Amino acid sequence: MKLNKLKEQVANAETTKAQALVQLERAKKPPRKSHTNSKTVNESKDCAIKATEDARKRLSRLKNRILVFF
């Protein structure tokens, strides 16, 4: 009976080891999708910053025109 219990524990340990090795291999791979998403987010952020700067410049020019008008 103890022998069967030990065999079962060995089998469970081997299964756990195999699963851990699979997860380790997955962890070693570079996160491509994550990198792509990060790149997209950075591009969107840069675009938003540029749009904000352009809007501020236009607003400043409009304010100057209004001041000249009055």
pLDDT tens digits, one per residue of 13-70: 888 988 888 888 887 777 666 666 788 888 899 989 989 989 988 888 888 888 776 6
Residue spans of alpha helices (H) in 1-70? 2-28, 32-69
Of 34, 61, 35, 57, which is closest to residue 49 (Cα–Cα)?
A: 57
Cα separation, 15 vs 36, in Å, equals 34
Report the 10 Å Cβ neighbour count for 19: 10
* pLDDT at site 51: 93
Band (pLDDT 50/70/90 cuts) for residue 2 is: confident
Provide the domain limits for residue 51.
Answer: 2-69
What's the domain count of the chain?
1
